[in-house]
C-alpha cells in the first residue's frame, strides 16, 4: 500500500502518473465498450461515428471552462472533483441500454472530465521544476499511455464476455482510485497568483495562443492532422472485422498504438532541450508513414507493428510539445492555454466524425487510413516552415509581455 501523502517532487510526479494510468485504463476500456455496444446494436459505422462525435465534441466544448477552473482554483482539488464526477457518470451509464441515451451519457462524462488534462499539464512544472520537464512529462506520458494500452485490451475482451455495463462499473471504480491517488500527493500544483499579470476570463488561453507564433502553428498543425485521424478511429472496428476478428482485434489496434506511445514516452524522458523541435516534427511524419502503410499491408500483425511505430513517434512528439509549451506559458494562464489548444484540436477531431462514418463506408477502412496519412503530411507541411525559420523557438520577453497584455 502507498503512504497517505508524498512531498518528494519525483514521488509526486510518479503518484500523479499512476493516477492517470488507473483512470485512463478504465476510460480506455469504457470507450471501447461503448463503441462495441453501439456497433453491435446498430451494425452501423454512422452510429459509431455519432458516439465518437459526442465524446470528443463534449471535450472540446467544455475545455475552456475546464481550463479556467484549473487556473482559478487549486488544481489538486479540481482533479479530485473531476475524478469523483467521472465515477458518478459512468456508474449511471452502466444502467443505460439504449444507444442514443448511452451516447448522451458519454457526452456528459467527457464534459465533467474536461478539467483533468489542462490541470495535469499545468501542474507539472510546479511539481517537478523546470530542469526536470522531460523526465516528468515522459513519466506522466508513460502512465497515460500504459492506460491506453491496457484499457482497450481489457475493454475489447470484457465487452464481448461480460458486457458493456460491467466495463462501465470498472471505469467508475478507476475514477475513485485515481481521486485517492491525487489526494495523496503533497506538492505545489500552482504558483502564487497575485498582481496585475493575472489573466482573466475564459478567452485568455485562446488569446495567448493566438499571440504566440509556435503555439499558433502547432495548434493549426494538429487540427489538420486530427481531422484526418477521426476516420481512423471509426475505421478501426471495420478493419478488425475485415481480418475476421471481432472486439478483441479492435482492442488490439488501439492497444498497439499505445504500446508504441509507451516506448515513445520513455524515449521522451531523455529528450534534450535542443532536440525538442525535431521531436515535435516527428509527431507528424511518423504517423503519416504508419497510417499510410496500413492501407496496403495484407496481414494483421504488420498492421499492429505499423500502428506501434506511429504511436511511438507520437509519444516522443507529445513530450517535446509539453516541454516547449510549459516553458512558454505563465502559470496563471497555463491551464487555459492547454485547454484552448486542446479545445481547438478536439473540435477538429469531433468535426471529422461528421464525415467519418459516410467516408469509411464509401472508401473502406484501408482508404480511411490512407487519408489519415495524407492529413499527417499536410500537418507536417504546416509545422516545418516555422520550425526552420525560427531556430530560437523561445518567446522573447516582449512577446511574452504582449501575450500577457492581450490575454
**Cell 516534427 belongs to which residue?**
281
pLDDT of the residue at 193: 60
* pTM strictly above 0.95: no
Considering only CA atoms, which of 251, 340, 231 is closest in space to residue 295? 231
Residue 6 β-bridge partners: 185
Classify domain 9-189+201-406 by CATH number.
1.20.1250.20
The pLDDT assigned to 80 comes to 92
pLDDT of res. 145: 82
Kindly write down the DSSP assignment for every residue of 70-97, as one continuous string.
HHHS-HHHHHHHHHHHHHHHHHHHTT--
Query: 3-state DSSP call for residue 6?
Result: strand
- Domain extent listing, the chain: 9-189+201-406
SS3 content of the chain, % helix, strand, coil (to 5): 85, 0, 15
Please report the pLDDT score of residue 196 as a whole number. Answer: 42
Distance in angstroms (rounded) separating the CA atoms of residues 39 and 294: 23
Tell me how far apart the alpha carbons of residues 375 and 359 are, in angstroms, rounded to a whole number: 14
CA dist 287 and 355 (Å) reads 21
Q: Tell the residue number behind the cell numbers 449511471, with chain if given.
A: 92
Asked if 113 and 88 touch (Cβ cutoff 8 Å), the reply is no
DSSP secondary structure letter of residue 272: -
Strand partners, 185: 6
The series of mean pLDDT values per 10 residues for the chain, 407 residues long, is 52 88 86 79 73 73 83 89 90 82 84 86 86 88 84 75 82 90 84 58 86 90 86 80 73 80 89 88 90 88 90 91 89 90 83 79 85 90 82 48 47
Please compute Rg for the chain using Cα positions: 20
Task: Kindly report the backbone phi and psi dihedral angles of residue 101, in degrees, each rounded to the nearest multiple of 5, phi listed first.
Answer: -70, -35
- 34 HSE (CA, 13 A, CB side): 35
What is the rounded CA–CA span in Å between residue 89 and residue 84?
Answer: 9
DSSP 138-192: HHHHHHHHHHHHHHHHHHHHHHHHT-HHHHHHHHHHHHHHHHHHHHHB-S--S--
CA atoms lying within 13 Å on the CB side of residue 205? 30
Amino acid at each position: 500500500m502507498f503512504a497517505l501523502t508524498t512531498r518528494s517532487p519525483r514521488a509526486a510526479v510518479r503518484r500523479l502518473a499512476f493516477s492517470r494510468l488507473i483512470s485512463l485504463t478504465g476510460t480506455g476500456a469504457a470507450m471501447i465498450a461503448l463503441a462495441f455496444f453501439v456497433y453491435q446494436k446498430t451494425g452501423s459505422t454512422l452510429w459509431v461515428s455519432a458516439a465518437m462525435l459526442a465524446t470528443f465534441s463534449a471535450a472540446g466544448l467544455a475545455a475552456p471552462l475546464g481550463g479556467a477552473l484549473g487556473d482559478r482554483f487549486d488544481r489538486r482539488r479540481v482533479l479530485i472533483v473531476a475524478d469523483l464526477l467521472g465515477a458518478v457518470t459512468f456508474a449511471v451509464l452502466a444502467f443505460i441500454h439504449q444507444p442514443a441515451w448511452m451516447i448522451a451519457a458519454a457526452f456528459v462524462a467527457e464534459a465533467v472530465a474536461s478539467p483533468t488534462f489542462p490541470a495535469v499539464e499545468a501542474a507539472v512544472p510546479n511539481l517537478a521544476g523546470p530542469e526536470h520537464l522531460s523526465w516528468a512529462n515522459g513519466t506522466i506520458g508513460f502512465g497515460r499511455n500504459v492506460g491506453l494500452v491496457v484499457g482497450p485490451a481489457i475493454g475489447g475482451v470484457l465487452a464481448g464476455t461480460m458486457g458493456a455495463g460491467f466495463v462501465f462499473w470498472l471505469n467508475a471504480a478507476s475514477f475513485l482510485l485515481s481521486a485517492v491517488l491525487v489526494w495523496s500527493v503533497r506538492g505545489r500544483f500552482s504558483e502564487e497568483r497575485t498582481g496585475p499579470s493575472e489573466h482573466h476570463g475564459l478567452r485568455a488561453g485562446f488569446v495567448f495562443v493566438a499571440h504566440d507564433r509556435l503555439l499558433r502553428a502547432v495548434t493549426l498543425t494538429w487540427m489538420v492532422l486530427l481531422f484526418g485521424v477521426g476516420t481512423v478511429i471509426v475505421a478501426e472496428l471495420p478493419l478488425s472485422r475485415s481480418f475476421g476478428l471481432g472486439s478483441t482485434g479492435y482492442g488490439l489496434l488501439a492497444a498497439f498504438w499505445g504500446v508504441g506511445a509507451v516506448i515513445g514516452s520513455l524515449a521522451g524522458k531523455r529528450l534534450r532541450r535542443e532536440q525538442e523541435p525535431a521531436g515535435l516534427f516527428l509527431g507528424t511524419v511518423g504517423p503519416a508513414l504508419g497510417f499510410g502503410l496500413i492501407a496496403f499491408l495484407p496481414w494483421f500483425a504488420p498492421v499492429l507493428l505499423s500502428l506501434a511505430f506511429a504511436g511511438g513517434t507520437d509519444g516522443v512528439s507529445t513530450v517535446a510539445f509539453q516541454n516547449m509549451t510549459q516553458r512558454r506559458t505563465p502559470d496563471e494562464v497555463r491551464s487555459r492555454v492547454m485547454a484552448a489548444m486542446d479545445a481547438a484540436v478536439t473540435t477538429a477531431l469531433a468535426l471529422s466524425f461528421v464525415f467519418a462514418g459516410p467516408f469509411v463506408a464509401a472508401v473502406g477502412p484501408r482508404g480511411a487510413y490512407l487519408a489519415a496519412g495524407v492529413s499527417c503530411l499536410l500537418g507536417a507541411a504546416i509545422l516545418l516552415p516555422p520550425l526552420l525559420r525560427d531556430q530560437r523557438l523561445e518567446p522573447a520577453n516582449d512577446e511574452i509581455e504582449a501575450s500577457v497584455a492581450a490575454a
